[in-house]
Amino acid sequence: MPASALFTTLLAETHLAEVSLQYREKVVEQSGWSLAWLLVPLLLAIVAGLIYLFSDRAPTIQKTPQGMLYELCKAHRIKGGARRLLAQIAEEAELEHPATLFLGPTQLEDAVQRASKHMRFDRRQKAHLEMLRRRLFAS
C-alpha cells in the first residue's frame, strides 16, 4: 500500500472520528435540555399540589374559644370561606365563646343579626350562610 493511500485513509478516519464526536456532543447537550424541559413542569405541578394541600388549613388548635370553633368546623367539614365567615360573625357579634354558633339555629341567627349591624354580607357570604344553615341544622 502506497504511503499516500495510507495517509489518506488515516485522515479520512480521523475526520470521521471528529464528526462522530461532534455529533455525540450535540446529542448530549440536547438530551440534557430536553430532560430539563420535562422536569420543570413536573416540579411546578408538585409545588402547586403542595401549595394547594397546605393553603387552606385551620390554624394550630389551642385551648381557646377560637380553637373550639375551628375544631367544630373541622368536625362538620366546614372549610375556607365558610369557616372564616363564622369566625368573622363571632367577632362582630362579640361572642365570648364562638362555638355557641353551633348550639342551634336561634343562636346562629341571633349572632348573624348582631353581626349585620357592623358588617354587610355579600352574595358569596349569603350563600355560605345558607350552606351553613343546611349543614348544621337541617333535619
At 49, the pLDDT band (50, 70, 90 cuts) reads: confident
Write out pLDDT tens, residues 1-36.
Answer: 566 665 555 555 555 555 555 555 554 455 556 677
Q: Which pLDDT belongs to residue 54?
A: 76
Do 43 and 8 reside in the same domain of the chain? yes
Residue 60 lies in a domain: no
Write out pLDDT tens, residues 61-104.
Answer: 667 888 888 888 888 889 888 999 999 999 999 988 898 998 88
Do 49 and 72 reside in the same domain of the chain? no
Give the length of the chain.
139
Do 124 and 73 reside in the same domain of the chain? yes
At 59, the pLDDT band (50, 70, 90 cuts) reads: low
C-alpha span between 108 and 113 (Å, rounded)? 9
**Domain encompassing residue 122:** 65-137
Q: Report the C-alpha dihedral over residues 29, 35, 36, 42, rounded to 10 degrees.
A: 180
- Greater confidence, 37 or 122? 122
Residue 83 lies in a domain: yes
Residue 94 lies in a domain: yes
Whether residue 111 has pLDDT greater than 80: yes
- Greater confidence, 58 or 81? 81
Q: What is the mean pLDDT of residues 28-56?
A: 76
Do 73 and 133 reside in the same domain of the chain? yes
Domains contained in the chain, number: 2
Rounded CA Rg of the chain: 34
